[in-house]
Amino acid sequence: MRTALLQSSGRPGSVVENLKVLDEAAGRAAAAGAGLVAAPEMFLTGYAIGDDIARLAEPADGDSADAIAEIATRHGVAVAYGYPEREGETVHNSAQLISADGTRLANYRKTHLFGCFERDHFTPGVQPVVQAELNGLRVGLMICYDVEFPENVRAHALAGTDLLVVPTAQMHPFQFVAESVVPVRAFENQMYVAYVNRVGPEGEFEFVGLSTLAGPDGIARTRAGRGEELVLADADPDFLAASREANPYLKDRRPGLYGSLV
């Protein structure tokens, strides 16, 4: 499945403008043959927007979800995006996957919050593995800091995730995660990992870009730079099957030895 990564911080604080950016990117992605376009962490509203996070938070089936379903349907491409999710008085840092026919397929709440900023504004999720079937692949969702915990990604591997989509707000000086950690996660867990980042200055943060789609051989199929761009690469199920057959990591595990990890 051709996957498009929208590396952009959009227009922080403006849901209307961010929907326009996503609409334009979905059109370009669909024209390039993509089956999925993924946007970064908190793309719907902006990340470093302080108390506006709570003000702009919406339920998973809110007005913006309906607007993105319309975008997906009109362009014929699935969309994954980050947003602040309201559930009663609680706000989660969430990511949602909507199919090309407008169906909400999966909604994930970030389980590992990074730093005081996130802990001040969000409640962590409790479900580590969220998946959906899309175009012949089992697609999993995760958000930024989550992918830096090997247990998290291994749980997806054991649950059969083929393509792990990771909306991200990765900041300076942690660019080594995009450059090194993500390809290693893809290799050691035998999956594709689509890591799609924000870019440029925003509030107190400097987002580093470097969005990538890494394959199960640990090689980046595409790599964005430090500016706003749309990059595309393929998640090939045939290559994935051959790689899993050749690579023994999951077969050679000895779970009985790992009790001390939990």
CA distance 122 to 45: 14
Structural tokens at position 55: 């003000």
CA distance 259 to 100: 41
Sheet strands side by side (includes 229-234): 104-109, 90-98, 78-87, 36-38, 2-7, 229-234
Of 58, 85, 118, 144, the active-site residue reads 144
- 251 annotated active-site: no
pTM of the complete model = 0.97
- 116 annotated active-site: no
* Per-residue model confidence as pLDDT tens digits over 157-203: 999 999 999 999 999 999 999 999 999 999 999 999 999 999 999 99
Of 41, 58, 85, 202, the active-site residue reads 41
* Per-residue model confidence as pLDDT tens digits over 114-168: 999 999 999 999 999 999 999 999 999 999 999 999 999 999 999 999 999 999 9
CA distance 120 to 67: 28
Of 58, 110, 118, 202, the active-site residue reads 110
The label of the residue with tokens 């051709």 reads: 2
- 110 annotated active-site: yes
